[in-house]
Amino acid sequence: MRLVILDNYDLASEWAAKYICNRIIQFKPGQDRYFTLGLPTGSTPLGCYKKLIEYHKNGDLSFKYVKTFNMDEYVGLPRNHPESYHSYMWNNFFKHIDIDPNNAHILDGNASDLQAECDAFEKKIEEAGGIDLFVGGIGPDGHIAFNEPGSSLVSRTRLKTLAMDTILANAKYFDGDLSKVPTMALTVGVGTVMDAREVMILITGAHKAFALYKAIEEGVNHMWTVSAFQQHPRTIFVCDEDATLELRVKTVKYFKESFIHCIQGAHLYCCMYLPT
């Protein structure tokens, strides 16, 4: 497990975008070799998406041979609703890059058979060869995707009822009106994300500080589903200073020193691949 601490949100977003860019370029995707990327929604990844769009427009990065799988989608919200995750992804990312729409996979929260939709999503991931890099964010209660507190840590893609904390947090996207916020969603499971070859979790802001503490300083606990990724062989938590406020001083110091040594050892190599 790695913890990368940057000074602020913008730097954390840029570091994450450069990491994704580097992974895709190193992979050397092509017509018979697609890079498979898991993607989140919400406010946290917006800065990362903006940087990835910038790299694409500068000619540094192509998504022509990339397949994406999104973490979740609301149930019952029309696909063209401005707050659906279909709309979010197309408006904030996909329409600005060269990805083939057929390679951008998002769960259908209006499917006639929701369980069949979830099963088909898992099958598509399997047929794509699994996820190379799954990028995620978390809620203040430590949930990843919509795997709310108490979710099984080996869960697969399924229908979930949203916790009241999540509904309250998402009300800001629905004019503050709780009655407009969907109460159910389709979501990949913790086990689905754990199957990825690599996981990168973005955590920014003081309101996520206690969740980060639970994620890395305490044991694995299904009440804090993000803590499961302590057991993944290749997990990177990317955060800003505000998100570290609940961590022990020695924890922050250790990971900052490790990050500096990593940069010093890999500087020339990284410069070969990462956009400036």
Q: What is the pLDDT of residues 54-100, one digit of tens each?
A: 999 999 999 999 999 999 999 999 999 999 999 999 999 999 999 99
**Active-site position among 14, 73, 141, 240:** 141
**Active-site position among 73, 117, 148, 195:** 148
**Helices (H), ranges, 93-208:** 114-127, 164-170, 190-194
**Active-site position among 14, 72, 240, 242:** 72
Q: Which residues pair with 66 in a beta bridge?
A: 35
Active site residue 72: yes
Give the mean pLDDT of the chain: 93
Fold of the domain built from segment(s) 2-265: Rossmann fold (3.40.50)
pLDDT tens for residues 29-52?
999 999 999 999 999 999 999 999
Contacts of 224 (CB under 8 A, 6+ apart): 141, 142, 149, 211, 214, 215, 218
pLDDT tens for residues 202-253?
999 999 999 999 999 999 999 999 999 999 999 999 999 999 999 999 999 9
The answer to whether 108 and 93 have CB atoms below 8 angstroms apart is no
With a cut of 50, say whether residue 163 has pLDDT above it. yes
pTM of the model: 0.92
Domain-by-domain residue ranges, the chain? Answer: 2-265
With a cut of 60, say whether residue 272 has pLDDT above it. no
CA distances from 69 to 73, 128, 236, 256 (A): 11, 10, 19, 31
Active site residue 261: no
**Active-site position among 143, 195, 232, 240:** 143
Active site residue 240: no
Confidence band for 260, pLDDT divided at 50, 70 and 90: low
With a cut of 70, say whether residue 154 has pLDDT above it. yes
Active site residue 148: yes
